[in-house]
Chains A and B, each alone.
Chain A
Amino acid sequence: NAGVTQTPKFQVLKTGQSMTLQCAQDMNHNSMYWYRQDPGMGLRLIYYSASEGTTDKGEVPNGYNVSRLNKREFSLRLESAAPSQTSVYFCASSVETSGRETQYFGPGTRLLVL
């Protein structure tokens, strides 16, 4: 199993450009998440999807849109990138087993907006 995969690994954008960050998991998990990680701050939730076809806003959703294409894939779109969106983006999926939840993270996408 590859676990959680993310593409691209690194991207440079100019202000106002758009892009989509891709995430896929092969663990058959229902729940998937998008986080951003900035220096000196904890991971912050952007969007969450409990299952295919459902999405919910997290703590910092402004400037982002998401699509839960199917059970495996959860994409994050920046319609008009801003320098404040320079960050490392992590996708995660989770499963609950015997009442205990485990969250698995992807390797991250490093985004620089100029």
Chain B
Amino acid sequence: EDQVTQSPEALRLQEGESSSLNCSYTVSGLRGLFWYRQDPGKGPEFLFTLYSAGEEKEKERLKATLTKKESFLHITAPKPEDSATYLCAVQEESGTYKYIFGTGTRLKV
């Protein structure tokens, strides 16, 4: 069964304390892996798309990486404004609309 698992469920960091969020996935064929940020009471905001193992994307203090079985979102020297829920989703190769979302990691800085 296709699924996406994010860990940890919640993470509390001190300002400046770097860490990583994990997204592991099981899908028959991966078309793309997506990271979103979601603030309380708002819709998810797109961060990154990764398509192939070894690919990396960076934006400010965030860096996303992809392997064949998982993705990491590295947060370097986080600030309080980085507090949010980070969602991971995979898009299956077989269907362009078929996204499978994880339940997210709640980050508090």
Which of B4, B43, B98 lies at the interface centre, i.e. has the most chain A CB atoms within 10 A of its CB?
Answer: B43
Give the size range of A's interface with the partner. 20 to 34
In the complex, the number of residue pairs spanning A and B with C-beta atoms less than 8 Å apart equals 56
- Chain A hits for B43, CB < 8 A: 4, 90, 92, 105-108
Q: Is A102 an interface residue (CB 8 A)?
A: yes
Interface of B is mostly: strand
Q: How far is the CA of A48 from the CA of B46 in the complex (A)?
A: 19
- Chain B hits for A40, CB < 8 A: 103
- Chain A hits for B34, CB < 8 A: 103
Q: Is A33 an interface residue (CB 8 A)?
A: yes
Interface of A is mostly: strand
Query: Are A105 and B4 neighbours in the complex by a CB distance under 8 Å?
Result: no
Query: Are B103 and A100 neighbours in the complex by a CB distance under 8 Å?
Result: no
Q: Please, how many residues of chain B have a CB less than 8 angstroms from a CB on the other chain?
A: 24
- Chain A hits for B89, CB < 8 A: 42-43
Q: What are 10 A-to-B residue pairs whose CB atoms are below 8 Å?
A: A40-B103, A42-B87, A42-B101, A42-B102, A42-B104, A50-B96, A101-B32, A104-B46, A107-B43, A108-B43
